Amino acid sequence: MRIRLAKHADAAQLAILSTQLGYPSTAAQIRGRFRLIHGDPSHAVAVAELPGGRLIGWIHVFVHIVLESERKAELGGLIVHEKFRGAGAGTKLLRWAEQWAKAHRLKSVYLRSNIIRKDAHAFYLKQGYRIVKTQYAFLKTLKSRRT
């Protein structure tokens, strides 16, 4: 297995994995979002690829900037295909993101994880992460303006 940067041609496989993560997405949707990420140096997506080209996981890392605290790296998503878990792919992807963060002079990596993802929490704790807070996520859908 190797870790490499994602490319546009990966969209279909990234979509399958995103859907498995709980975010149903089509290849076209992923392609559109990836186009935005790919052109922005403060974001990166890496994939875990088996010999032969099958993708078994991806990670998205970006520079998190807010007014009130230091810049840090944030994980936008991490997923390993359910059939390939426990074989080290998640660790390799996380290490890749941490190296990316270091290369961008970021001193910490931050991530948010749904409280129902108990398995992922065990994984992150094992990887040296600690829980720093519990919070609600708020969302408001905006009405489109009539013309």
**Residues within the interface to ligand COA (CB under 6 A):** 21, 78-80, 85-91, 113, 117, 119-120, 122-123, 126
- Sequence-ordered list of residues with C-beta below 8 angstroms from that of 89, at least 6 positions apart, any chain: 1, 48, 56, 57, 80
- Mapped onto helix, strand or coil, the DSSP state of residue 82 is helix
Minimum CB distance to ligand COA, residue 67 (Å): 25
Q: Which residue is nearest to ligand COA (CB)?
A: 90
Residue 21 or residue 27: which is nearer to ligand COA going by CB? 21
How many angstroms from the chain centroid is the CA of residue 40? 15
Minimum CB distance to ligand COA, residue 95 (Å): 9
Residue holding tokens 């007014």? 67
Residue 135 or residue 147: which is nearer to ligand COA going by CB? 135
User: Hey, CA dihedral for 90, 91, 94, 100, is it positive or negative?
Assistant: negative
Minimum CB distance to ligand COA, residue 48 (Å): 8
